[in-house]
Amino acid sequence: MTAPMTLDDADNADAPAKPAGTQTLLRGLTLLECVAAGVGDVKGIAARLGTPRSTTHRMLTSLVAEGYLHHIPHKGYLLGSKLIQLGQKALEQRPLVAVARPRIEALARQTGDTVHLGVAEGDEVFYLDKIAGTRGLEMRSRAGLRMPLASTGIGKALMLGLDPARWAGLHARACPEESAAPATPADRPRPPPWPEFAARMADYAAWGWAFDLEENELGIRCVAAPVRDARGGVAGAISVASATPYMPDDRMRALGPLVRAAADAISCDLGWTAA
């Protein structure tokens, strides 16, 4: 931010030409992600990393010794328990998660539905926590999941804290194929066309909460509201989600103030003061 900055940064994408001084470390991390992606055999990993078997194997052994990978002798590699531990610690270190926990648990009990907590990360919403509802249905979301901002309730609540100028771009990013197939394919839901989307966002901004009407997952509707921190910025968002039959229009309307109240309570815990 000081003056002359010049080139680079901004939307540099992730160019391959970024020789930071830690090739070895980076390779090791890439290896972890490789295993996370389901590639568990030495050969496959070596191929994906472009390293010879020898080198690959050496890193693998180190990672296993440290507990980052789990090794099943002649079968392959899986992510190790150290990662579970660190992942959990990472969750605990976020003040937001710790603070929001009791509130969203209460909200889940109160509504009987599934409650999510998420933050914006880049162009996506990142799910930090989830309390399962008491209804029969299972939701296959999980902490650690990423989704386009504009296609989820939480994402739209998060967008309320962003510059409206970015809304159009984010909306576009959530629409897989803008062209062709004007008829409803029905199997892959998508956000409404831009003009309508913008109109709804305006409503949501006025209300202080947002809806998702099966735009992300068919059969799932949700009501979301943003959480703000001490500086007044949007620090995250929560949502109550359930199957459509449990979510008629009038319940959605009733849920709005409720979800917002819970979100505001978390905001207060974070030092936020209404303005």
Partner DNA sequence: ACGTATGTCTCATATAATGAGATAATTGGG
Partner DNA sequence: CCCAATTATCTCATTATATGAGACATACGT
Binding site for a second copy (CB under 8 A): 2, 18, 20-22, 24-29, 32-33, 36, 58-59, 61-63, 65-66, 68, 72-73, 78-81, 83-94, 102, 105, 109, 121, 126, 128, 132, 134, 138, 142-146
Question: With 0-12 CB in 10 A as exposed, 13-18 as middle and 19+ as buried, what is 177?
Answer: exposed
CA–CA distance, 219 with 86 (Å, rounded to integer) = 34
Q: Which is nearer to DNA, 51 or 261 (CB)?
A: 51
Residue 31 touching DNA (CB under 7 A): no
Residue 244 touching DNA (CB under 7 A): no
Q: Which is nearer to DNA, 51 or 175 (CB)?
A: 51
Residue 174 contacts by C-beta under 8 Å, 6 or more apart in sequence?
Answer: 148, 149, 150, 151, 190, 191
Are the C-beta atoms of 131 and 106 separated by less than 8 Å?
no
Q: Which is nearer to a second copy, 75 or 275 (CB)?
A: 75
Among 6, 12, 23, 93, contact with DNA (rule: CB under 7 A): 23
Q: Which is nearer to DNA, 59 or 252 (CB)?
A: 59
User: From residue 254, how far is each of 6, 110, 251, 258 by CA, in Å?
Assistant: 51, 13, 5, 7
CB of 245 to DNA, least distance (A): 46
CA–CA distance, 242 with 219 (Å, rounded to integer) = 8
Residue 60 touching DNA (CB under 7 A): yes
Instruction: Choose from DNA, a second copy, none: what does 68 bind? Cβ within 5-8 Å by kind.
Output: a second copy
Tokens of 254: 């009733």
Could you give the string, one character per residue 73-112, with x where binding to DNA holds by CB under 7 A and - elsewhere? Answer: xx-x------------------------------------
Q: Which CB contacts under 8 angstroms, 24+ apart, belong to 3-12?
A: none
Residue 6 touching DNA (CB under 7 A): no
DSSP sequence for 112-180: -SEEEEEEEETTEEEEEEEE--SSS------TT-EEEGGGSHHHHHHHTTS-GGGHHHHHHHH-S--SS
CB of 74 to DNA, least distance (A): 4
Residue 52 touching DNA (CB under 7 A): yes
Tokens of 210: 């947002």
Are the C-beta atoms of 88 and 104 separated by less than 8 Å?
no
CB of 53 to a second copy, least distance (A): 14
Are the C-beta atoms of 204 and 211 separated by less than 8 Å?
yes
Residue 54 touching DNA (CB under 7 A): yes
CB of 56 to DNA, least distance (A): 8
Sole window of 66-74, 96-104, 209-217, 263-271 interacting with DNA (rule: CB under 7 A): 66-74
**Chain positions contacting DNA, by CB under 7 A:** 1-2, 21-25, 27, 41-44, 51-55, 57-61, 71, 73-74, 76
